[in-house]
């Protein structure tokens, strides 16, 4: 795997693999949680992000 060097000289993977899990609800907005695929336990609990449907925008609008 190729690697990139960050501003502090540390090596980091060039590409990260993430997993997205969508929870669908009937009585509230759906939620999408994204986390590194290889994470587990405490690492997963520290590296996830959740977005509720309606709280995110299209990528091309933010560029």
pTM above 0.85, yes or no: no
Q: Rounded to an integer, what distance in angstroms lies between the CA atom of residue 28 and that of residue 10?
A: 42
Higher per-residue confidence, 25 vs 63: 25
Grade residue 1 by pLDDT with cuts at 50, 70 and 90. very low
Q: What pLDDT does residue 48 have?
A: 86
Query: Do 53 and 29 contact (CB within 8 A), yes or no?
Result: yes
pLDDT above 50: residue 2: no
Q: What pLDDT does residue 3 have?
A: 42
Q: Where are the domains of the chain?
A: 16-55
Grade residue 27 by pLDDT with cuts at 50, 70 and 90. very high
């Amino acid at each position: 795997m190729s690697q990139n060097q960050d501003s502090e000289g540390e090596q980091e993977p060039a590409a990260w693999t993430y997993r997205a899990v969508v929870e669908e609800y009937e009585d509230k907005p759906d939620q999408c949680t994204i986390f590194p695929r290889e994470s587990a336990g405490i690492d997963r609990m520290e590296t996830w992000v959740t977005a509720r449907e309606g709280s995110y925008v299209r990528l091309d609008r933010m560029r």
